[in-house]
């Protein structure tokens, strides 16, 4: 009887001692065990693990486990997850947990995870994870025009694949994009033979933009480093991103006898997506003339001569000479003549103001004063505040 009593009292201690030996080396350190104990997971800790061990197909933890009692939950954990000497793979995480982790990774880490194995690659390259990154970083300066250019670029690459093999030349070489394989390097054996990214994927487009391999159309405020001749204007350009400086190179199209103008180190703040789908060589059809009133903020197309492309210039609607500006008696909005003011220029300057016909406005002007084209009314406070932020320090002559 005494022997039986001794056995019953000592067995739990022996059992726990053996259980501790049976757990893998990281079982007393890894905070991921909290998933199985109903605890919260620190995403920053998981992200740190992913960054430091993305070259492996499993986690070797460097975090401490909070004090826990090895109760019956430990038994369930051992039975369901751990075999002696086994390591826990990230793919063993519940699907929703894994998706939540991938959703919060920055682009570079998501690319690194795509290089771990084929299973993670198939998840990490999906548009679901890259739509947010594309919108957050590029959404403000990438518009429908740039998207069409990308689609055209994809079609060009598809067509080129049917041509003879070899290094592309001339026009094809300029628009070809080398697969950004240096961002996604093989980390384990089953990724050693990666196929190229799907051409239509958002990830492929993101990497093409990020690495500067794809030039896209957008518009630049105060072109050519704020040249006095372009103050408070916005011109179309072909842009290429430079990761090293986090700025852009802008190439302005040639016109007349003038060659291509190149501007480097253009910051994000001076860029925008084209607000209307109109070529810089075409007249924009104005649809706001009937509603223009004094005080409205506008942009108007202007070009030096017929060989030049249009740029968009900021101005405001002013009062007729016959009006004293009193709001109670102002009838300027009923007149067929609309006064446009460009207050960045000094009083008396020939660029200070112009007039247009509200009902029959097309392109108006001459070789001396330039040609005024289509008009768009600004309804966004953000657009107006951007122009005011760009306002010159001194009045222009």
Q: Where are the alpha helices (DSSP H) in 289-363?
A: none
Residues 205-230: tens digit of each pLDDT: 999 999 999 999 999 999 988 788 89
397 residues of the chain, pLDDT tens digit each: 444 444 444 444 444 344 344 444 433 333 333 333 333 444 444 444 444 444 433 333 333 333 334 344 444 544 454 454 456 788 888 999 999 999 999 999 999 999 889 999 999 999 999 999 999 999 999 999 999 999 998 888 777 665 545 544 443 443 343 333 333 333 323 333 344 677 789 999 999 999 999 999 999 999 988 788 899 999 999 999 999 999 999 999 887 677 889 999 999 999 999 999 999 999 999 999 999 999 999 999 999 988 899 999 999 999 999 999 898 899 999 999 999 999 999 999 999 999 999 998 999 999 888 999 999 999 899 999 999 999 998 898 8
Half-sphere exposure of 46 (CA within 13 A, CB side): 21
Residues 130-160: tens digit of each pLDDT: 999 999 999 999 999 999 999 998 888 777 6
Q: What is the pTM of this model?
A: 0.70
Count CB-CB contacts under 10 A for residue 326.
8
Helix, strand or coil, per DSSP, at residue 302: strand
Torsion of CA 194, 198, 201, 203, to 10 degrees: 30
Q: What are phi and psi of 240, to 5 degrees?
A: -130, 130
Half-sphere exposure of 29 (CA within 13 A, CB side): 11
Q: How far apart are CA 197 and CA 177, in angstroms?
A: 12
Residues 309-368: tens digit of each pLDDT: 999 999 999 999 999 989 889 999 999 999 999 999 999 999 999 999 999 899 999 988
Q: How far apart are CA 293 and CA 317, in angstroms?
A: 6
């Amino acid at each position: 009887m005494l022997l039986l009593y001794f056995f019953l009292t000592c067995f739990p201690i022996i059992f726990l001692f053996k259980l501790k030996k049976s757990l893998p080396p990281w079982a007393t350190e890894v905070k991921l065990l909290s998933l199985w104990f109903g605890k919260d997971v620190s995403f920053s800790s998981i992200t740190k693990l992913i960054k430091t061990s993305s070259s492996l197909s499993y986690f070797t933890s460097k975090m401490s486990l909070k004090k826990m009692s090895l109760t019956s939950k430990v038994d369930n954990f051992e039975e369901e997850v751990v075999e002696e000497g086994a390591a826990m793979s990230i793919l063993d995480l519940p699907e929703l947990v894994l998706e939540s982790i991938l959703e919060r990774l920055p682009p570079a880490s998501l690319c690194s995870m795509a290089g771990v194995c084929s299973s993670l690659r198939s998840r990490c390259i999906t548009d679901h994870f890259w739509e947010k990154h594309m919108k957050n970083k590029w959404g403000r300066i990438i518009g429908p025009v740039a998207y069409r250019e990308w689609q055209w670029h994809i079609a060009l690459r598809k067509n080129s694949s049917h041509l003879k093999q070899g290094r592309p030349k001339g026009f094809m070489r300029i628009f070809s994009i080398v697969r950004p394989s240096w961002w996604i390097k093989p980390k384990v054996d089953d990724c050693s033979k990666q196929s190229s990214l799907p051409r239509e994927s958002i990830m492929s487009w993101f990497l093409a933009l990020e690495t500067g391999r794809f030039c896209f159309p957008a518009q630049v405020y105060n072109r050519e480093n704020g040249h006095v001749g372009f103050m408070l204007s916005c011109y179309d350009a072909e842009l290429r991103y430079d990761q090293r400086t986090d700025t852009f190179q802008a190439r302005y199209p040639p016109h007349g006898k003038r060659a291509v103008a190149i501007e480097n180190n253009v910051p994000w703040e001076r860029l925008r997506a084209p607000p209307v789908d109109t070529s810089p060589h075409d007249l924009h059809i104005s649809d706001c003339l009937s509603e223009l009133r004094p005080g409205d903020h506008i942009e108007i197309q202007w070009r030096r001569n017929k060989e030049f492309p249009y740029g968009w210039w900021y101005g405001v609607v002013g009062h007729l000479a016959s009006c004293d500006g009193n709001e109670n008696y102002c009838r300027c909005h009923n007149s067929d003549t609309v006064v446009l003011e460009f207050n960045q220029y000094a009083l008396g300057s020939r660029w200070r103001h112009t007039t247009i016909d509200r009902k029959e406005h097309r392109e108006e002007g001459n070789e001396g004063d330039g040609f005024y084209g289509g008009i768009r009314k600004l309804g966004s406070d953000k657009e107006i505040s951007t122009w005011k932020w760009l306002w010159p320090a001194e009045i222009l002559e």
